[in-house]
Amino acid sequence: MRLAALFLLLTGAAHAAANDLEIWRLGHPDTLACSLCDGSAGDVPEAGSPGAQARFHRLASTLGLAFVPPFEDAAATTGQSGFEFGISSSQVVLRIPADAWPTMETQASGAPPGVLILPAVTLRKGLGGSLELGAGVQWLANSQMVALSAQLRWAVVEGIENAPDLALRAWGTRVLGSRELDLGAAGADALVSKSFGLFGMMKVQPYGSFGLAMVNAFSTMVDFKPTAQDPSRPTADEQMFHPISMYNNRYWRAGAGLRVISGPLLLAVEGTLAWGKNAIQDAPTTAPDNFVRLWSFAGRIGVSF
């Protein structure tokens, strides 16, 4: 909790950073009660913006997958008395249309950044009985968005000579720091790894994972005419995007990595790919499905006891 508070304090001190969201720039999905929304006589309703809900779905899905925690774990647990602490940096290759990336810097018209950088701090603690808990705090650079994550892992097979370790894991993430977007993700996967001794001085642990990631999102009331105000109808220009249910917004996710442990020192690298095609919830039936694919790479340094 102290680490989370520190991250929130640091990011909260930076006002209006380049990657902070202005989701009103996606357009409003439904008809607004006004067009000018400044109190002018005869102001008529404004039809919904074509594709607005699809852009919201693309933005939320991309960010949700980017914030999947980089635990960079082998399948074996740390053991009942074990403990691991790591500092990571994830680089997410961003492929999203400009009109679906409404930030302070791009304003939904400039080119989105090619790579998102997400530093993270992660912890692992063995519970015994082949169970383990993990927690992480992750920050999107140049923004006020912070993600809090947790995982529970059960090592089905571990510590058997000449056999790989196998584990099942469930995880969840909640993203904070965006005033108008409530974003979360959850998933489960299977991990397999094998530990090899090297020169009697270190352990090398290649590992792989495959599973499912789901993204949930909804907006608060959004002011779609921030430069105008009708004193007699102050909420006439406000509206919410339609919620995105994680059950109907599912993605496959696969990863592979390598950990090197020498004494207490740990180094790790990992690459992951998430992909999937989902219907845009509450969009017209003629709207095409959104296909989202996201590559990410992470490096980590830590200590393991």
Give the tens place of pLDDT for each residue, 138-181.
999 999 999 999 999 999 999 888 899 999 999 999 999 999 99
* Lookup: tokens for 202: 């270190």
Under DSSP, the state recorded for 24 is G
| Predicted local confidence at residue 283, as pLDDT | 67
Instruction: Say if CB 207 and CB 223 are below 8 A apart.
Output: no
Please check the confidence at residue 104 and state whether its pLDDT lies above 80: yes
User: For the chain, how many structural domains are there in total?
Assistant: 1
Residue type, 169: R
Strand-pairing partners, residue 213, are 187, 251
Q: Containing H/E element for 52?
A: helix 52-66
Please check the confidence at residue 8 and state whether its pLDDT lies above 80: no
| Predicted local confidence at residue 6, as pLDDT | 43
Instruction: Encode pLDDT of 231-277 as tens digits.
Output: 999 999 999 999 999 999 999 999 999 999 999 999 999 999 999 99
User: Residue 110's Cα: distance from chain center in Å?
Assistant: 22
Between residues 16 and 24, the one the model is more confident about: 24
Instruction: Encode pLDDT of 179-207 as tens digits.
Output: 999 999 999 999 999 999 888 789 999 99
Q: What is the mean pLDDT of residues 8-20?
A: 62
Q: What is the mean pLDDT of residues 71-90?
A: 92
pLDDT confidence tier of residue 285, bands split at 50, 70 and 90: low
pLDDT confidence tier of residue 32, bands split at 50, 70 and 90: very high
Say how far apart CA 57 and CA 27 lie, in whole Å.
12
By residue range, what is the domain housing residue 96? Answer: 2-304
> Mean pLDDT, the chain, as a whole number?
92
pLDDT confidence tier of residue 71, bands split at 50, 70 and 90: confident
Instruction: Say if CB 175 and CB 145 are below 8 A apart.
Output: yes
